[in-house]
Amino acid sequence: MSAAGTQDVPILLEPRAAFDVVRALLVRASYDEPSVARRLGRSSLIGAPRLVEGRKTLAGEVADVQAALIRLFIDGESLESTLVQSLVGDDAFEALRALGLVRSLPGDDRSLAAAVALVPLQGLWFASDLLPRSDQVDGTIQDYVYGASGDLTGFFLSVIPDAPGAHVLELCAGTGVAALRAAARGAAGAVASDLVGRCVHFARFNVLLNALDDRVRVVQSDVWESIGDETFDLVVAHPPYVPALAHVYDFRDAGADGEHVTRRIVQGAPAHVRRGGRLIVRAALSDRRGATIAQRVREWLGESESEFDLVQLESSEYGPFDAYQSVTKGGKDFVDCERWMRHFDSLQIERFSLVVIELRREAYGRAPVTERRTFGASVSPEVADWTFRWGRFLSGGGDTAASRMVGQMPRVVSGVRAAVHLESQSDGGWATVGATVEAAWPSHAVVKAPPLAPTLLELCDGTRDVEAILSGLRSAGLVDALVGAEDVARLVEVLAAAAAIELPACRLPPRAVTQA
C-alpha cells in the first residue's frame, strides 16, 4: 500500500480566491450534471462515454464555454489556448491555470489540456485523475485517483441514504464523493478519509471547489488508524476489493482474498458507529467452506455483533474461475489459472459475491436480524430499508408463521408472474407437479412453489387473511384436511420475502422513489 504520492499532484490548493472564480465559471457555463448530460444525450453522467470511446454527441467544433469545458475535462482532449481564453474570459482562464486544472501541452504553448478530469455530479464537481486514453486502467499510476462518475461509484452512491443532521464518515473516499454529497445534502458534518496522499489532496481540492470546507474535513488514514476515537451516525465505504497476489493499484487491490480493507472497516464498526448508526460498505466478499459471508461479517464485529442488524444485498455472484478471469482480464494461461485456483482453494473460497453490506446498530433487547437478498442493479436506500423491516417483521412477530400473519391481509404485487409446471404421465395425460413464482422488483426472485401457488396469489387480494386464504384453497379442492394455517402462512412468508406478496406490516417502497 502506498501512503505517499508516486506522481506529481497537478492541482493546487492555492490561491483560494481562484476557487471562487472557477466556481463562478462552472455556474455561468451551466456545467452541472443535468445540463451537461442533456447536451451529451443522456440522463446522467454516471458511466458517460468520452469521445475517445466513440461518443457521437458534441463531437464537432467547440463554439461555447460549456462545450469547451466538456472537451477539456470530460473528454480529456486538448483545445487551442486562445479559443479557451476567449470563451471562458481572462480571469477564469488565469484561475484555471493558477489551480493547475489546465496546462499547455509540452512543447506546444498554443494548445491547452486538462491536467485532471473535472465532472459535475449530483450538484457538485469532482476532480479526479484523467482516465488513460486507452480506457484501460492498466499502465496508470499506483495511487491513481478513482473518478467519481464511473458505474461502480454510481452504484455505491445509489445505496447511500441522505443523512440530514448526521455526522458522516467516508472511508476509502478517493475524491471524497460520498462525504461531499452527504454534507451538501444536510449532514451536520462529514469526514473524508483515504490512505493515499494523492487522494487526500484531490479530496481537499474538491472540498474547496465546492465551498464545503466548513462542513467536510479530509483526513489521511489507513482505514481507522487516524480516526482516533471519533464516532459517527453513518459510515460509508467503497474500498478496494480485488484479490491480488501482488499489490499494483491502491484503488483496486485488497490483499490475497480481496477482503483486507473491508475486513478492517467492519472490525472498526463497534468502536466508531454510534448506537442507532449505520455502516454501509460496497465490496466483494466470499462465502468460504463452513462460513458464509454473513457469519464472517458477524465474526469480524467481535463481541458487539449482537448489537448489529445485518443486511447483505447482492448484485451478483461468481465462482473462483470467474474471479480469476476478472482479475487477469480474461487470462488464458493454464499455469497461472492453476495457481489462482489453488490460491482461492487454500483460502476455502467457494464463491464471491458483489455486495452491499449494511449494518445498523439497533439490535438492543432483541435478536439481531440477518437477511440476504439478490438485487441486481436496482438497490436503493429504500429497498435496503424494506429488507431490514422484513427481517424485523420475521424476528418480532411470534414464533410461528401463523402467529406473525395474524391480522395481515396479503396482497399480490403487480407484475408478478406465476407458471404451473406440467408433467406428462404414462397414461398420456398431464399432471400439475409444481409452480414457479417470479418477482422482478425490487429483486429478481424466482420461487419454486407447490401447484396451488397461482390460486393462492389470486386469493391474496388484500381482503383475506391466512384463514380465509386457506378456506379459499379448500373450496377450490387444492388442499386436503392435513394442510393448516401454518403451512399457508409459511408459503405466504416465502412469497412475501421475494416481494411477490406485500404485507401491511411490511410495505414495499414505492417504485418511483427506488428507480429515481
Ligand X SMILES: C[S@@+](CC[C@H](N)C(=O)[O-])C[C@H]1O[C@@H](n2cnc3c(N)ncnc32)[C@H](O)[C@@H]1O
Residues that bind ligand X (CB under 6 A): 1, 146, 148, 153, 156, 171-175, 177, 194-196, 199, 222-223, 238-240, 250-251, 261
What is d(CA 298, CA 281) in angstroms, rounded to the nearest whole number? 14
In the complex, minimum distance from the CB of residue 186 to ligand X, in angstroms, rounded to a whole number: 20
What is d(CA 20, CA 211) in angstroms, rounded to the nearest whole number? 8
Nearer of residues 222 and 487 to ligand X, judged by Cβ: 222
Non-local CB neighbours of 306 within 8 Å, separated by 6+ positions: 363, 367, 368
In the complex, minimum distance from the CB of residue 281 to ligand X, in angstroms, rounded to a whole number: 11
**Which of 227, 187, 22 lies closest to 218, judged by CA?**
227
In the complex, minimum distance from the CB of residue 391 to ligand X, in angstroms, rounded to a whole number: 27
In angstroms and rounded to an integer, the radius of gyration of the C-alpha atoms of the chain is 27
Nearer of residues 203 and 473 to ligand X, judged by Cβ: 203
Q: Sign of the CA dihedral 261, 266, 268, 272?
A: positive
C-alpha cell at 347: 483460502
In the complex, minimum distance from the CB of residue 233 to ligand X, in angstroms, rounded to a whole number: 19
Task: Output phi, psi for 271, to 5 deg.
Answer: -85, -20
Nearer of residues 262 and 408 to ligand X, judged by Cβ: 262
What is the strand order of the sheet 370-374 is part of?
Answer: 216-220, 189-194, 167-171, 232-237, 273-288, 349-360, 309-318, 370-374
Nearer of residues 96 and 281 to ligand X, judged by Cβ: 281
In the complex, minimum distance from the CB of residue 330 to ligand X, in angstroms, rounded to a whole number: 21
In the complex, minimum distance from the CB of residue 379 to ligand X, in angstroms, rounded to a whole number: 15
In the complex, minimum distance from the CB of residue 316 to ligand X, in angstroms, rounded to a whole number: 17
In the complex, minimum distance from the CB of residue 196 to ligand X, in angstroms, rounded to a whole number: 4
- Angle of helix 293-301 versus helix 260-267 axis, rounded to 10: 50
CB 22 within 8 A of CB 114: no
CB 421 within 8 A of CB 433: yes
Nearer of residues 75 and 129 to ligand X, judged by Cβ: 129
User: ∠409-413-414 over CA atoms, to 5°?
Assistant: 135
C-alpha cell at 170: 467516508
Nearer of residues 88 and 200 to ligand X, judged by Cβ: 200
- Cell 392435513 belongs to residue: 482
What 3-state DSSP class applies to 130? Answer: coil
Nearer of residues 175 and 387 to ligand X, judged by Cβ: 175
In the complex, minimum distance from the CB of residue 250 to ligand X, in angstroms, rounded to a whole number: 4
Task: Output phi, psi for 453, to 5 deg.
Answer: -55, -45
User: ∠56-141-107 over CA atoms, to 5°?
Assistant: 70
Nearer of residues 223 and 495 to ligand X, judged by Cβ: 223
Nearer of residues 268 and 472 to ligand X, judged by Cβ: 268
Residue nearest to ligand X (CB): 174
In the complex, minimum distance from the CB of residue 190 to ligand X, in angstroms, rounded to a whole number: 13
Chain Cα centroid distance, residue 469: 39
Nearer of residues 215 and 238 to ligand X, judged by Cβ: 238
C-alpha cell at 504: 401491511
Q: In 10 A of CB 396, how many CB atoms?
A: 12
